[in-house]
């Protein structure tokens, strides 16, 4: 009987203890919930909604942001998940103990802590400090704009009409050569007042005048070799004093090299140019391929890459293809990972400005080339807004060049400019006379 009584007492005590424990857990949970809401109210009161006047374009589409931007102490904060969703890129996050948050974006993992300005990288001891802190509020993660620039490696450009272009397109090209080269030697440059020769003498003369970027007109010979020739039409051949029979039957590479342009200038095949580039490490070659269909383009670029690899593969990094329409981009880049590219527009019947600018922007192309017939204020404005340079062709009038420079034209294809020799220092930089 006593034993049964003691058992009942123990059960009652256990029941009361359980009730007390559950009550304590509920009270603690309620306290934490209350603390969380109080903390959220405090944070939200500190971070004010801001209706930023800029129109945000992400990956060439108007951004759909369900959460507002915030501002605190002059720092703008963006809703991270909503922004990344506009890039069409998967982003995930989960909460860890002690207020830490794990964020996975693309193939990278980052760790942040609420109220902290530090970002840690998975499998890396480096710590990046942001200009602002990470906060979780209104059911989403807010980060300072600094996080977008420094961590996600997003490209941001603000246009003249306060539109902000933000994208995560890969930065695949290198345009470091642009700043020191306002001029591109058209058809290897002029020589003795003659243009379109694409000759050895033109190349050497242009180099000695200080030009370092050379555009070469390239055609295929009958034995499928690349030679420097602008055209096989009768008028073009006649102007260069080359055999008119080539208009009907293309020459072999050997036959081409045995002829003289205008009776005195040496013809060039691509391998001759590569040999020159091998000895002149600061020379760049812009390819103006005289063919249009994709199959011929692929054939020519395969031959180009093979030729460089046979003579000097390292010079391939200084080859700059020109594409004439969007469909040419992938076939060319599939053949070789070129380091620069120009979108030239002279073969387009009509220049659809938005289409060309959007395509160049999406694919990392930083130079668009146009002639005076394709030039417009609309084109220059939209290129400037996207941080894309405009080169124009072909100009030999210094006064005209000076006026176009004032209209945001970055560079020019030319036969005879500049009139004076371009002086360069040991690093290849232009020396400006005081």
What would the pLDDT profile of 268-285 be if each residue is shown by its tens digit? 999 999 999 999 999 999
Is residue 313 scored above 70 in pLDDT?
A: yes
Is residue 40 scored above 60 in pLDDT?
A: no
Q: What is the mean pLDDT of residues 181-209?
A: 98
The larger pLDDT score, comparing residue 51 to residue 350, is at 350
Is residue 2 scored above 60 in pLDDT?
A: no
Q: What is the mean pLDDT of residues 217-235?
A: 97
Is residue 320 scored above 70 in pLDDT?
A: yes
Is residue 10 scored above 50 in pLDDT?
A: yes
The larger pLDDT score, comparing residue 239 to residue 56, is at 239
The pTM of this model reads 0.80
Is residue 318 scored above 50 in pLDDT?
A: yes
The backbone region for 7, taken as left when phi is positive above 0, alpha when psi lies in -120 to 50, beta otherwise, is alpha
| pLDDT, tens only, 150-174 | 888 788 777 777 788 888 887 889 9
Q: Where are the domains of the chain?
A: 55-167, 178-414
Is residue 17 scored above 80 in pLDDT?
A: no
Q: Report pLDDT for 48.
A: 79
Is residue 336 scored above 90 in pLDDT?
A: yes
Written as one string, the DSSP assignment of 86-142 is HTT--EEEEE-GGGEEEEEETTEEEEEEBT--EEEETT---EEE-SS-BEEETTEEE
| pLDDT, tens only, 64-82 | 888 888 888 888 888 999 9
Is residue 35 scored above 50 in pLDDT?
A: no
Give the distance, in angstroms, between the CA of residue 277 and the centroid of all CA atoms in the same chain: 26
Is residue 41 scored above 60 in pLDDT?
A: no
| pLDDT, tens only, 367-391 | 999 999 999 999 999 999 888 999 9
Q: What is the mean pLDDT of residues 11-23?
A: 73
User: Distance between the two ends of the chain, CA-based, in angstroms?
Assistant: 114
Is residue 344 scored above 60 in pLDDT?
A: yes
Q: Report pLDDT for 228.
A: 98
The larger pLDDT score, comparing residue 363 to residue 6, is at 363
Q: Report pLDDT for 46.
A: 66
User: pLDDT-derived band of residue 44, with 50, 70 and 90 as boundaries?
Assistant: very low
Q: CB pairs under 8 A, 24+ apart, for 202-209?
A: 202/265, 203/268, 203/273, 203/276, 207/280, 207/283, 208/421, 209/418, 209/421, 209/422
Query: Which tokens belong to 253?
Result: 């590479």
CATH class for the region spanning 55-167: alpha beta
User: Which CATH number is 178-414 given?
Assistant: 3.20.20.190
Average pLDDT, the chain: 89
Cα 16 to Cα 11, 19, 239: the distances in Å are: 9, 5, 108
User: pLDDT-derived band of residue 3, with 50, 70 and 90 as boundaries?
Assistant: low
Q: Is the distance from CB of 378 to CB of 353 less than 8 angstroms?
A: yes
| pLDDT, tens only, 84-115 | 999 888 899 999 988 899 999 988 899 999 89
């Amino acid at each position: 009987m006593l034993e049964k009584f003691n058992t009942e007492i123990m059960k009652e005590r256990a029941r009361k203890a359980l009730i007390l424990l559950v009550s304590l857990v509920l009270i603690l949970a309620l306290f934490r919930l209350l603390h969380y809401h109080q903390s959220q109210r405090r944070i939200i009161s500190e971070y004010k909604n801001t209706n930023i006047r800029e129109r945000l374009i992400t990956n060439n589409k108007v951004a759909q942001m369900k959460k507002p931007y915030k501002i605190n102490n002059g720092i703008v904060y963006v809703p991270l998940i909503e922004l990344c969703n506009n890039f069409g890129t998967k982003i995930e996050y989960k909460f860890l103990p002690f207020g830490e948050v794990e964020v996975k974006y693309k193939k990278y993992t980052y760790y942040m802590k609420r109220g902290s300005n530090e970002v840690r990288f998975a499998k890396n001891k480096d710590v990046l400090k942001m200009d602002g802190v990470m906060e979780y509020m209104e059911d989403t993660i807010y980060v300072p704009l600094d996080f977008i620039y420094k961590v996600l490696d997003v490209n941001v450009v603000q246009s003249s009409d306060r539109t902000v272009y933000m994208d995560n397109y890969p930065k695949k090209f290198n345009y470091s050569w642009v700043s020191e080269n306002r001029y591109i030697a058209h058809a290897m440059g002029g020589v003795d007042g003659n243009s379109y020769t694409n000759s050895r003498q033109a190349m050497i003369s242009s180099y000695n005048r200080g030009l370092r970027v050379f555009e070469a007109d390239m055609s295929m010979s009958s034995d499928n070799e690349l030679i420097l020739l602008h055209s096989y039409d009768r008028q073009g051949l006649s102007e260069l004093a080359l055999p008119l029979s080539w208009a009907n039957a293309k020459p072999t590479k050997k036959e081409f090299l045995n002829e003289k342009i205008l009776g005195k200038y040496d013809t060039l095949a691509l391998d001759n140019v590569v040999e020159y580039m091998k000895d002149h490490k600061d020379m760049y070659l812009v390819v103006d391929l005289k063919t249009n269909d994709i199959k011929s383009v692929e054939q020519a670029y395969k031959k180009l890459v093979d030729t460089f690899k046979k003579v000097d593969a390292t010079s391939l990094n200084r080859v700059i293809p020109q594409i004439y329409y969007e469909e040419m981009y992938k076939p060319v880049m599939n053949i070789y990972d070129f380091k620069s590219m120009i979108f030239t527009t002279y073969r387009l019947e009509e220049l659809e400005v938005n289409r060309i600018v959007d395509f160049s922007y999406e694919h990392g192309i930083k130079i668009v080339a146009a002639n005076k017939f394709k030039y417009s204020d609309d084109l220059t404005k939209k290129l400037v807004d996207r941080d894309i340079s405009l080169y124009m062709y072909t100009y030999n009038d210094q006064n005209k060049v000076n006026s176009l420079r004032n209209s945001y034209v970055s560079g020019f294809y030319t036969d005879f400019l500049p009139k004076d020799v371009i002086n360069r220092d040991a690093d290849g930089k232009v020396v400006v006379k005081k």
